[in-house]
Amino acid sequence: RGAGSPRTEDPAQAKSICAVIRVTMIFFVIVIFYPAARAQYWRTVGLGTIGPTYFSTVFGDSVSDRLLAGGTFTQLVNEDDTIAVYGIAGWNGTRWDSVATRLSNSVDQTYWFLRYQGQLFACGAFSFMDANGVPNSRIARFANASMQWDNLGCPNPLPSGLGTLVPKEPGADLYITGFKNSLCGHAEAAVFRYNGVDIQPWSPFGMLFIDVNDYVGYVFEFRGVTYMSGSFNDPLGSGYTTFLRWDGVSWGHVPAWGNVSSSIKDISIRNDTLYVAGSLRIAQGAPGNGVAFFDGSTWNDMGGGVRRSDDPGTTIATVLQWYRNDLYVSGGFDEAGGIPVDMIAKWNGRQWCSLPGDFDWYGSGNIYSLNDMTVWRDSLFVCGYFNTIDGEPFGQVAQWIGGDAVQDCSAPVGVREVAVAPAFVVHPNPTTGQLHVDLQGIRPREVRLTDALGRVVLQQSLSGRQVGPVNLDLGALASGTYQVTVVATDGMRHTRTVVRE
């Protein structure tokens, strides 16, 4: 065609070219946006660790407003730098940073963090020199004044079999548990009581037949009774048992538990109901598979619980976490209520649901488990030895951004209603500071206020004879939703929700 010739098009050819362009553009758009679509349910937190190390725990700390993490890592990678953290780090929403002085010069594991009486505590396999230059191991309290970690009033010897602080949501007392060891000059025991000032023996444990192999995991109060898990001599029979309760006078078996050998890895108390997770197996006499809940007298197996399909005998649930009124469970399992899941499942009170997201693990081919879960800034966070989700790189910590999305749900099951406690009244609600708790005939032993993460932020011990209102001052607390719990003299717990404006 000449330089000045008019341009003409063959209609059929033009249509064919347009079709090719459309197909190409669609393919291009899919290639560009498909990875983002696949990763829409989870968001990575940081870029991970340096070397073959891992995150063992995460903790949403509303006081410092940071996501705290512990593990075997020595360094963590941000977008623009790499920092030395030695087993403990804090995420502020955009980057990892160190938390005060290091607990250890090595990669010793931190098991978990908790807040008790407003102070931050940690427990794990670490050791360090305390403020007096004395070795201290496994349990630590953060000293706000010096911005350093310290002991709990006396050093825990190195080595020591005592290495856990429980419960993770403390009440009036905190317990130091593990294998038998002496502490603060007291005789050897597998559990000691800490009241925020000093460490003392816990006398009920001394009533058991003490054995060199005794181990105590959790000690906690539920409905006015103290429960203890672990492995210890059965005071009511022969052999060992793993779950007992103390009524203030004597030890007794937990109903339907007896000599069950299942270990308990986590507990949670919600709406006057106890939830437990661990190596439970109905086939071995336990009241559930992996998980179960208890109302003080009767157990429920929560729709059949969880299961590891290729080796049911090794099924284990390790972490319980409440998020937006649903209970999230993680551990070494790939089924919940009979549906496939990927190490994490959600229980809504009637059925199990799986979450979108395909986790791949370092050294895949085996079933691994998520190590921990927490809630921070109204988001769910998980950590574990995973390196991708849905094929996208992840740095072992992930934030759930999928809202109410689920992948599949089991058939609903009938779950009996747990008895509702009598009402009491709180006003004004919302409040700008002062809150009045009208007891409505309840005989109170204690009134406590917990934040959205279940941590006690206010607490009053009462005589049980009080009939007038209890006044709480919320003026120093941050705006948000809190739960008021009245513990009655009969052990019953009554709860109400209040909003601090």
> Residue 116 belongs to a domain with what CATH number?
2.130.10.10
Cα–Cα distance list, 62 to 140, 148, 399, 431 (Å):
19, 19, 17, 20
H or E segment and range at residue 159: none
Residue-level pLDDT at 415: 58
Q: Supply φ then ψ for residue 363, to 5 degrees.
A: 70, 45
CB of 318 within 8 A of CB of 265?
A: yes
Q: 234 by DSSP, 3-state: which?
A: coil
- The whole-angstrom separation of Cα 274 and Cα 452 is 18
Write the CATH number for 495: 2.60.40.1930
H or E segment and range at residue 203: helix 203-206
Mark whether 254 and 394 lie in a shared domain.
yes
Token pair of 280, please?
Answer: 């439970």
Within 13 A of 267's CA, how many CA atoms are on the CB side?
23
Residue 418 placed within a domain: no
Q: Is 392 exposed, middle or buried (0-12, 13-18, 19+ CB in 10 A)?
A: middle
Mark whether 16 and 50 lie in a shared domain.
no
Question: In which residue ranges of the chain is pLDDT below 70?
Answer: 1-39, 101-107, 363-367, 415-423, 452-454, 463-468, 489-493
Residue-level pLDDT at 332: 92
Mark whether 465 and 368 lie in a shared domain.
no
Residue 275 placed within a domain: yes
Token pair of 64, please?
Answer: 């410092």
Mark whether 94 and 158 lie in a shared domain.
yes
Mark whether 378 and 441 lie in a shared domain.
no
Sheet holding 299-300, edge to edge: 264-270, 273-278, 291-294, 299-300
CB of 166 within 8 A of CB of 143?
A: no
R_g of the chain, CA atoms, integer Å:
26
- The whole-angstrom separation of Cα 459 and Cα 449 is 6
Mark whether 356 and 435 lie in a shared domain.
no
Residue-level pLDDT at 102: 58
CB of 487 within 8 A of CB of 466?
A: no
Mark whether 157 and 256 lie in a shared domain.
yes
Mark whether 26 and 47 lie in a shared domain.
no
CB of 50 within 8 A of CB of 82?
A: yes
Residue-level pLDDT at 303: 96
Residue-level pLDDT at 282: 92
Mark whether 271 and 404 lie in a shared domain.
yes
- Residue 484 lies in domain: 425-500
347 CB-near residues (< 8 Å, 6+ apart)? 291, 302, 303, 326, 327, 328, 329, 336
- The whole-angstrom separation of Cα 290 and Cα 306 is 6
pLDDT tens sequence across 173-218: 999 999 999 999 999 999 999 999 999 999 999 988 878 889 999 9
Give me the numbers of helices (H) and strands (E) for the chain, helices first please. Answer: 2, 44
CB of 113 within 8 A of CB of 95?
A: no
Residue 4 placed within a domain: no
Residue 419 placed within a domain: no
Residue-level pLDDT at 3: 36
Residue-level pLDDT at 363: 60
Residue 462 placed within a domain: yes
Residue 194 placed within a domain: yes
Mark whether 108 and 135 lie in a shared domain.
yes
Residue 420 placed within a domain: no
Mark whether 19 and 108 lie in a shared domain.
no
Mark whether 465 and 404 lie in a shared domain.
no
Domain total of the chain: 3
> Which of 409, 434, 467 lies at the terminal end of a domain, its last residue?
409
Residue 2 placed within a domain: no
Residue-level pLDDT at 220: 96
